[in-house]
């Protein structure tokens, strides 16, 4: 059946807005000044939509982690506000509205097994093992660590420890996954493998993702949208849409299109280095 045509008496912008996926997190003129007076972010406006894979990229200190912290509701804006599923923070956690977080450091408990580390959030919530363990096992299988469930963090490589941290976030069955430079400390090969795995999970689970990185290649490979930020004060200066179909594989990494997109991000980042570009 042919879909009903859009009504053309409607302004174009309104019609386009109707076709966009629903907002999941909206950052509404939110800014952050820390208690010591550091102005980490000047007012930022940003809408994360269902199904986005959004990357935040920019020089050190431009406020990427601060912005991610506010999006996770772990950090409060000093001015402005955020909304989650068009409501307040009370909307977070309901069915279909779970947020999972992966930090830069895997932050594992060294005395606990891989399995216990992944189970941590369930244990804190006093969820019975009969309920939590199938989810823990499923998450460990998803990151390829089933055989290491009884190992301790010291017995794992850096990449494997990061997989445990990802499994811990996945076990809670998140709808939105916020990741703060999770692969920054890993070698290039491990990083490529984990990038591919994250994309598979994002597709399989219909996740909405926000990913902080310093790597232009990683940003282009993963994202549907790249948000470029500048420092002093932290702000958004540009956005690049990566209109490349999924699944993406290694052939994308060596394509001309990939090289051109990397050049676009690099150009935007060099503007970010210019003092006061886009600052108000
Ligand atoms: N708790 C805090 N108190 C005071 N200043 C802070 C605090 N947290 C961050 N800042 C400052 O806010 C600014 C933004 O920091 P943020 O960590 O968000 O930047 P970033 O872009 O994530 O940096 P990086 O890429 O190095 O991780 C920096 O100047 C930082 O020193």
Which helix (H) or strand (E) segment holds residue 66: the answer is helix 64-71
Is the per-residue pLDDT at 18 higher than 90?
A: no
The sheet carrying 23-33 orders its strands as: 39-49, 23-33, 79-84
Q: What is the average per-residue pLDDT within 227-247?
A: 95
Confidence at 190, pLDDT banded by 50, 70, 90: confident
> Which atom of ligand 1 lies at the shortest distance from residue 68's CA?
18
Percent of the chain with pLDDT over 70: 91
Confidence at 275, pLDDT banded by 50, 70, 90: low
Average pLDDT of the chain is 91
Enter the CATH code of domain 45-98+175-280.
3.40.50.300
Q: What is the pTM of this model?
A: 0.89
Is the per-residue pLDDT at 228 higher than 70?
A: yes
Residue whose CA is closest, atom 24 of ligand 1?
60
Calculate how far, in angstroms, residue 46's C-alpha sits from the geometric centre of ligand 1: 19
pLDDT at residue 125 in the model: 87
- CA-nearest of 137, 203, 191, 133 to 162 is 191
Calculate how far, in angstroms, residue 35's C-alpha sits from the geometric centre of ligand 1: 12
d(CA 66, CA 252) in angstroms, rounded, equals 31
Confidence at 231, pLDDT banded by 50, 70, 90: very high
Give the SS3 label for residue 187: coil
Q: What is the average per-residue pLDDT within 212-225?
A: 96
ipTM of the complex: 0.98
Q: What is the average per-residue pLDDT within 77-96?
A: 95
Residue whose CA is closest, atom 27 of ligand 1?
60
Ligand 1 in contact with 32 (CB < 6 A)? no
Calculate how far, in angstroms, residue 104's C-alpha sits from the geometric centre of ligand 1: 13
Give the SS3 label for residue 2: coil
Confidence at 159, pLDDT banded by 50, 70, 90: very high
Ligand 1 in contact with 56 (CB < 6 A)? no
Confidence at 35, pLDDT banded by 50, 70, 90: very high
Confidence at 248, pLDDT banded by 50, 70, 90: very high
Percent of the chain with pLDDT over 90: 75
Ligand 1 in contact with 215 (CB < 6 A)? no
Ligand 1 in contact with 71 (CB < 6 A)? no
What are the boundaries of each domain within the chain?
Answer: 45-98+175-280, 107-173
pLDDT at residue 20 in the model: 87
> Which atom of ligand 1 lies at the shortest distance from residue 58's CA?
21
Which helix (H) or strand (E) segment holds residue 167: the answer is helix 158-171
Calculate how far, in angstroms, residue 164's C-alpha sits from the geometric centre of ligand 1: 26
CA atoms within 13 A on the CB side of 178: 20
Which of the residue ranges 122-136, 180-194, 250-264 would you say has the lowest mean pLDDT?
Answer: 180-194
Q: What is the average per-residue pLDDT within 82-100?
A: 94
Ligand 1 in contact with 42 (CB < 6 A)? no
Calculate how far, in angstroms, residue 61's C-alpha sits from the geometric centre of ligand 1: 5
């Amino acid at each position: 059946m042919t879909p009903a045509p859009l009504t053309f008496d409607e302004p174009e912008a309104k019609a386009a807005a109707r076709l966009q996926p629903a907002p999941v997190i909206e950052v509404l003129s939110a800014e952050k000044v820390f208690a010591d007076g550091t102005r980490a972010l000047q007012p930022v406006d940003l809408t994360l939509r269902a199904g986005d894979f959004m990357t935040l990229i920019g020089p050190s200190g431009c406020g990427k982690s601060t912005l991610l912290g506010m999006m996770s509701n772990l950090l409060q804006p000093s001015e402005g506000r955020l909304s989650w599923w068009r409501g307040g923070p009370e909307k977070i956690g309901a069915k279909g509205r779970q947020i999972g977080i992966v930090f830069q450091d895997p932050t594992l408990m060294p005395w606990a097994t891989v399995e216990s580390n992944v189970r941590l959030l369930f244990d804190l919530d006093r969820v019975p093992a009969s309920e939590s363990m199938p989810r823990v096992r499923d998450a460990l299988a998803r990151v390829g660590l089933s055989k290491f469930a009884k190992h301790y963090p010291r017995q794992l490589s850096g990449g494997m420890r990061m997989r445990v941290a990802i499994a811990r976030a996945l076990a809670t069955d998140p709808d939105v996954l916020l990741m703060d430079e999770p692969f920054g400390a890993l070698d290039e090969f491990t990083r490529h493998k984990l990038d591919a795995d994250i994309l598979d999970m994002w597709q399989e689970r219909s996740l909405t993702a926000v990913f902080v990185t310093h790597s232009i290649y990683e940003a282009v490979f993963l994202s549907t949208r790249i948000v470029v930020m500048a420092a002093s004060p932290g702000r958004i200066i540009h956005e690049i849409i990566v209109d490349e179909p999924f699944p993406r594989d290694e052939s994308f990494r060596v394509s001309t299109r990939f090289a051109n997109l990397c050049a676009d991000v690099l150009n935007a980042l060099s503007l970010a280095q210019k003092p006061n570009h886009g600052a108000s």
